[in-house]
Amino acid sequence: MTNTLVTKDGAPRQTSQEVERLRRRYAIRHVLARCGVYGAAVLASLVCALPFLWSAVSAFKQNRDLYNPESSPFLFNEPATPDHVRFLFSDTPFLTFVVNTLLVGALVVVLTLALALPAAYSLARLNRPWGTPMGIAIFLVYLVPPSLLFLSLTRVVVALGLEDTIWSMVVVYPTITVPVSVWLLIGFLKAVPKDVEEQAMVDGYSRLGAFGRAVLPLVFPGIVAVVVFSFTLTASEFVYALAFVSASPEMVVSTGVPTQLIRGDVFFWQSLQAATVTMAVPIAFLFNLFLDRFVTGFTMGAVKT
């Protein structure tokens, strides 16, 4: 093998032997490159997902296995037990939290689309001189963080009489999701050829009709990506949820689990880990389905706004 690799004499004559050597050299290179790619992929997955493996394993561990500094975190040193997972689902309000999260997520997604779709269409298509600065202004709102606004928003929520209800989150969360959704939707809308609407309008639709009947179906994949993205943002939000809601039946997962499964110094570790995995896997799965669309949407918005 070392022989074949050092045939770099630069001679122009291409004997069949040399061609063979070159071919082998490139074959080896190819194999090495493949190994590199697979090695890097495995390493990346390990770094990202190893904690979740630990979570999944420890969720089923018995106490004397978990609370033993010598026992391997990868293996069951004592028989696995479903008790702690059952505890999570039957003896804690975890399912209520999940239902609240889904409910808040769904309502926020509906509100977000109702606000962001027309706004994005207006900015992407109805060429107004203020279109670009307005688009930038809306995007900038995405950068105003909850940690800057939660104190005054808490007052607003109290003034509206929404404290300790899921409605406080339904009303406030679109401030996070609308700007970024507008940004993404502008990208998707710009990718639709203008001829589509013009043809629809020639065919007798009004501008709104053309938007509804011709453009919306074409950007449907983009809309789905926006829905998934908004839902992910909503499910992860923590600061507002913590500041607005302190009654456990109205909590969402991201605040309910930390406050209800940690009693003072007592951590229900196995149940906590089970809760993390239960939430993590479906959201990542869903997001992965639409990753490519999200990726293209991001560039389209970035390049063409």
Interaction with other proteins in 27-66: which residues (CB under 8 A)? 33-34, 37-38, 40-41, 44-45, 47-49, 51-52, 54-55, 58, 66
- Single out the residue of 5, 67, 86, 220 in contact with other proteins (rule: CB under 8 A): 67
Residue 198 sits in the site that holds other proteins (CB under 8 A): yes
CB of 299 to other proteins, least distance (A): 4
Nearest to 248 by CA among 240, 257, 236: 257
Cα distances (angstroms) measured from residue 230 to each of 13, 85, 124, 200: 62, 29, 20, 30
Residue 206 sits in the site that holds other proteins (CB under 8 A): yes
- Single out the residue of 19, 27, 80, 208 in contact with other proteins (rule: CB under 8 A): 208
> Interaction with other proteins in 91-120: which residues (CB under 8 A)?
114-116, 118-119
Residue 177 sits in the site that holds other proteins (CB under 8 A): no
Contact 107, 276 (CB under 8 A): no
* Contact mark string toward other proteins, 156..175, x via CB under 8 A: x--------------xx-xx
Stretch that binds other proteins, among 5-13, 17-25, 161-169, 202-210 (CB under 8 A): 202-210
Stretch that binds other proteins, among 1-9, 12-20, 84-92, 277-285 (CB under 8 A): 277-285
Stretch that binds other proteins, among 3-11, 75-83, 216-224, 253-261 (CB under 8 A): 253-261
